[in-house]
Chains A and B, each alone.
Chain A
């Protein structure tokens, strides 16, 4: 390591050429927040149309473009990059490393994302409109019957797949090779463990998604028939390949969120995480099981009985390690000395609402019952509970928790609490009624609905507007903290926070741990 360290370059070129994990983490976080607001805007259009029965605002074809882009942008543009941003900021600091293993590849991993999403968003302006076949893009709706913009959609997916794969390789190489001496695997913070396991999942399944969209490209442009019965192919093959990616994908989304909660709850309980080793094993078990359950997304496709039974049993089994994690978090709180600052509020909100999402997941796993749930709003409710009240609440908790460390400035605690309560209430008003309309018979992905679903839909839309507005409050809180928040004075900031990042100044210098820290002697967990 050279000894003259200038600070960061000035101006735009700092951000364009940076190889610094803190800068790159910051860019990922701001990018993902912008995508979150864009995906959220599409959701507002969806809920505005669904406010009442009848078509009021948009045409059915455009509505489908909104649902498709909302899903794609939230999953690939908001949630995934936001957790990569956290990984970039925190992993080197948590393991006592000076930066990520491959800093230049890190820069590329980020910078290919904005063009990819610009291309995806620009499909709205193309002839035939944006993709309108759902974020799950089943063939042949997404091949033979797709608008011309599908080719750009495929290209965008390839690019963000490459970004994810490069980012994951970077994370694995960093964690495996750059831990400070004395930081054995079983001493790493759980956030690092969950990201390590997630990164392996990404390396394994993002190429499968790339394969699926490449096969689509070949069917559309090069005369193959992977998914077309006419040429001897099978539309159901698409579903198997997609969900072989798609199910591990949802664990990719949630495992880092689990890691964040495992950092925050102990901090605010002033007590160590209960059952560290089981948490590691449970995470690994969930990751392994995630590969063998994919067809629970396909229970109504006409699978042979043996297959249907296998996938039902394997899916039910995931409840065991997931339950272990929930019990461990609650037991961490038990007999702690808790305070309820904003990060803890969002974490407790996560714990309650994610668990509810887990219960509806258990209900969905039961194949014969799923014939009544599949492709209804019951599923929409389930995945929003686990992805919004799960992953997004966890990310929000993470921002409030670490922002003071990254910036040296504290956010306004009262405003943070207001953001929490408005979010919590808005979220539940939006999504709890969706369980009801789904069970009562309302399908997914429809722009208009029968009259008996009207009241709950109106409620859901009002909740969505409230929840959406509260994210603007979040934006305000973050900007206010950064520009004029009270400066923090001590390194630890939070009474119960543990980990190497809390030994650094707030904000930390541009380059940290250029000399590896000494890891205190403690027994491995």
Chain B
């Protein structure tokens, strides 16, 4: 859970992002005039340089053309010239553009060298693309990696127009990536199924996530705030529904956050030892269903890309075979092994939910301890 102070700080940031009808690339500098990333500002500068050179050439060329359309028309009684070559001019307009391009290539090269400068990072984060969510894993020298999935948080009701769309429609997640300000962060990027691409426009990082291969990218964000991005490589039906949300917080807040994350993992483990009430399990299960199952299995368990849960033999049959599907996935299909993605409490909750929602009403209650015994065999 994000520290309340960090949340408040983020809320006070001027709304540089998500500005309505923006016509240009993020400048790399916040509305308050603070540089967000130096690389982002450099890239913006390069973009504007090429843009203005293009405008200048365009104004020249189109100006001559428009003048000619006005002045050299038959209706003005002009007689057409017959010249059709001029070696000098032709050489000039071959050579001069070449030198303009060389002039552009120099800053472009130096900025590209910056992009490739991935070493000497203080923090390494493994970013893994899944259909259709991101997983973040903070590599810790002592091996106590913090790891979690980041799912779209926008409700189906908003998407299907039965509820008003929130301000961060399609750009909000249940668990954002949190990184400390003014820290060189190295992203190690891969994918678990198809090619995805991880992009946050305001910090100017985009890198493809390729299954079986690791890519790297880096950033040093100088301004605290919330930065939002999206998957930018077609990865299947819900490509447009796997956003990126990054919270950049002070170093102290980051330390607090990592501690609370570790605490939450421990709390989850402790929770696994308890017996939860049916209501608690159903409520928690509904949240997990909506975040992780709904996209393929439907808001009412009616199915879609995945099989129907409502009335399904698996959801109403033996608990162990139901757990097997959820924990181990189904090889050769799109059903992922959620045992790796959900805690034991979460698996228990979503299994309980599926067995009792959508009219299934089996009355079965699955506790985390059941999941643990199932896993132990």
Query: Which positions in A face B, CB cutoff 8 Å?
Result: 53-56, 59-61, 64, 132-134, 138, 140-141, 144-145, 228-230, 234-236, 269-278, 300-302, 305, 308-309, 312-313, 316-317, 319-320, 323-324, 326-328, 330-340, 348, 351-352, 355-356, 359, 362-363, 366-369, 371-372, 374-376, 435-436, 439-441, 443-452, 455-456, 496, 525
CB distance from A471 to the nearest CB of B (A): 26
8 Å CB contacts to A: which residues of B240-287? 240-241
Give Cα A324–Cα B111 distance, bound, in whole angstroms: 29
Give Cα A132–Cα B236 distance, bound, in whole angstroms: 7
CB distance from A186 to the nearest CB of B (A): 13
Q: Which one of B108, B168, B193, B240 lies within 8 Å of A60 (CB-CB)? A: B240
CB distance from A502 to the nearest CB of B (A): 17
Main secondary structure of the interface of B (DSSP, over half): mixed
Query: Are A439 and B23 neighbours in the complex by a CB distance under 8 Å?
Result: yes
Q: Which one of A144, A355, A363, A441 lies within 8 Å of B47 (CB-CB)? A: A363
Give the 9 A-B CB pairs with smallest separation, nearest first.
A229-B212, A446-B240, A359-B54, A440-B22, A302-B215, A335-B81, A337-B80, A61-B237, A375-B232
Query: Are A305 and B116 neighbours in the complex by a CB distance under 8 Å?
Result: yes
CB distance from A472 to the nearest CB of B (A): 29
Query: Are A145 and B194 neighbours in the complex by a CB distance under 8 Å?
Result: yes
Task: Write 15 A-B pairs (CB below 8 A) sorted by A numbering.
Answer: A54-B160, A60-B237, A61-B237, A64-B236, A141-B194, A145-B334, A302-B210, A302-B213, A319-B97, A330-B64, A336-B72, A368-B114, A451-B165, A451-B167, A452-B18
Query: Are B85 and A236 neighbours in the complex by a CB distance under 8 Å?
Result: no
Query: Are B170 and A448 neighbours in the complex by a CB distance under 8 Å?
Result: yes
Q: Is B328 an interface residue (CB 8 A)?
A: no
Query: Are A53 and B165 neighbours in the complex by a CB distance under 8 Å?
Result: yes
Selected interface stretch from B4-12, B198-206, B364-372:
B198-206
CB distance from A366 to the nearest CB of B (A): 5
Selected interface stretch from B98-106, B339-347, B355-363:
B98-106
Give Cα A277–Cα B334 distance, bound, in whole angstroms: 58
Q: Is B207 an interface residue (CB 8 A)?
A: yes
CB closest residue in chain B, given A129:
B237
Q: Which one of B24, B42, B69, B84 lies within 8 Å of A440 (CB-CB)? A: B24
Over the window 95-132 of chain B, the binary record of Cβ atoms lying under 8 Å from chain A Cβ atoms (1 yes, 0 no) is: 00110010011001101111110000000000000000
Give Cα A270–Cα B72 distance, bound, in whole angstroms: 11
Neighbouring A residues of B230 by C-beta, 8 Å = 441, 443, 446
Query: Are A236 and B210 neighbours in the complex by a CB distance under 8 Å?
Result: yes
Neighbouring A residues of B206 by C-beta, 8 Å = 300, 371-372, 374-375
Give Cα A218–Cα B68 distance, bound, in whole angstroms: 57
A-B contact count (CB 8 A): 291
Give Cα A236–Cα B93 distance, bound, in whole angstroms: 38
Neighbouring B residues of A335 by C-beta, 8 Å = 68, 72, 78, 80-81, 83
Query: Are B43 and A316 neighbours in the complex by a CB distance under 8 Å?
Result: no
Query: Are A443 and B240 neighbours in the complex by a CB distance under 8 Å?
Result: yes
Over the window 8-29 of chain B, the binary record of Cβ atoms lying under 8 Å from chain A Cβ atoms (1 yes, 0 no) is: 0000000000111111111000
Query: Which positions in B face A, CB cutoff 8 Å?
Result: 18-26, 42-43, 46-47, 50-51, 54, 57-58, 61-62, 64-65, 68-69, 72-75, 78-86, 89-90, 93-94, 97-98, 101, 104-105, 108-109, 111-116, 158-161, 165, 167-171, 193-195, 197, 199, 201, 204-208, 210-213, 215-216, 228-241, 304-305, 334
Query: Are B210 and A348 neighbours in the complex by a CB distance under 8 Å?
Result: no
Query: Are B72 and A452 neighbours in the complex by a CB distance under 8 Å?
Result: no
Neighbouring A residues of B84 by C-beta, 8 Å = 271-276, 332, 525
Contact A375:B23 (CB < 8 A) given known A316-B101, A337-B78, A338-B72: no
Query: Are B240 and A140 neighbours in the complex by a CB distance under 8 Å?
Result: no
Give Cα A513–Cα B232 distance, bound, in whole angstroms: 55
